[in-house]
Amino acid sequence: MLVKICGVSNILDAHHAIEAGASAIGFVMGGKCLPVEVEPHAQTVRDIIKTFPSHVDSFIVTHLLTADDILDLSNYVNSTGIQISEEIDVSIVKEVRERTRKKIIKTVVVRDESSFDMLKKVEPYADYILLDTQSAGYVGGTGKTSDWNLCRKLVAAANKPVYLAGGLTPENVERGILTVYPAGVDVATGVSTYSDDYLRKDRKCPQKIKLFIDRARAIRNN
C-alpha cells in the first residue's frame, strides 16, 4: 500500500512521515494554493528534498497551468515526481509527460460519470491517478470525502495505480481502503495539527501520521 503524506512544509514533518514509513511526501506549491500558509518556499523544499532517502519520493503538488512552469518548479526543487492537481487541458499533461522522466500523478476530481472520461483522457500520460474532491473551485486539501462507491468503480476502470484522497483520516482510512481498494492513499488535512492557539494547516501531527500509515498498511497484511 502506497502512502503519501501531503501538504508538508518543513523538514521536521517530512522526516516524521519518512520515519513512520511514508512512500512519498507532497509539497503543495505553485499556482492557487489554499490556504496560503501550506505553500513552502521553493528553496526550503529544495533543501528538504536533499535529505530524503532514495526510497522515498518527493512530489510537487501544483496548481500551475503551463508545462514550462510545472517543469521549471519541479526541476528547481529536484523533486522525483510531479502531481498535477489543476484541471488543465490534457495536451499540457501530455507535454509534461513528453518532457520528463519524473513520476507523474494526475488528479481526477470525483464528480459523476464525467470523471471516467477524464480518467481515460489523462491516464496515458500519468504513472498514477489520484482521486480527490473539489470545494469552492479548489481541488484537494478540502478535508472532504468523495463518493467512495464511485471511487471504487473508477479504480476498477483505471489501467494505472490509483491513490484515494479527500477527507481521509486515521479513523476512516481502513474503511476507505476496504471500500475503494486503491493502490495507495493520500492524506493532508487528516494528519494536520490544530489547537486554539494554532489553527494553521501547515504543521502535521507525528502521532496522526504514524497511526494513519500503520492502519493503511495493516489492511494489506491481513
In the predicted structure, residue 136 carries a pLDDT above the cut 70? no
What CA–CA distance (Å, rounded) separates 39 from 62?
10
In the predicted structure, residue 109 carries a pLDDT above the cut 60? yes
Query: Could you give the percent of the chain with pLDDT greater than 90?
Result: 76
Reduced to 3 states (helix: H, G, I; strand: E, B; else coil), residue 3 is strand
pLDDT band at 221 (very low <50, low <70, confident <90, very high): very low
Q: Encode burial over 46-61: b for 16+ CB neighbours within 10 A, e otherwise.
A: bebbeebeeebbbbbb
Question: In this predicted model, what pLDDT tens digit does every residue of 1-11 receive, in sequence order?
Answer: 999 999 999 99
Query: C-alpha distances in angstroms, 153 versus 86, 182, 212?
Result: 22, 10, 24
pLDDT value at residue 199: 53
Rounded to 5 degrees, φ, ψ at 53 are: -70, 160
pTM here? Answer: 0.92
What CA–CA distance (Å, rounded) separates 9 from 141?
14
Question: In this predicted model, what pLDDT tens digit does every residue of 161-172 receive, in sequence order?
Answer: 999 999 999 999
Secondary structure letter of residue 102 according to DSSP: S
User: Would you kindly state where each structural domain of the chain is located, as residue ranges?
Assistant: 2-221
In the predicted structure, residue 138 carries a pLDDT above the cut 80? no
Reduced to 3 states (helix: H, G, I; strand: E, B; else coil), residue 23 is coil
pLDDT value at residue 139: 61
pLDDT value at residue 37: 61
pLDDT band at 222 (very low <50, low <70, confident <90, very high): very low
pLDDT band at 213 (very low <50, low <70, confident <90, very high): very high
Q: Mean of the per-residue pLDDT values for the chain?
A: 90
Q: Mean pLDDT: which of 32-46, 56-70, 198-212 is highest?
A: 56-70
Question: In this predicted model, what pLDDT tens digit does every residue of 168-199 receive, in sequence order?
Answer: 999 999 999 999 999 999 999 899 886 655 55
Out of 70-74, 103-107, 138-142, 191-195, least confident range: 138-142
- At the fourth CATH level, the homologous superfamily of domain 2-221 is Aldolase class I (3.20.20.70)
Question: In this predicted model, what pLDDT tens digit does every residue of 9-38 receive, in sequence order?
Answer: 999 999 999 999 999 999 999 877 666 667
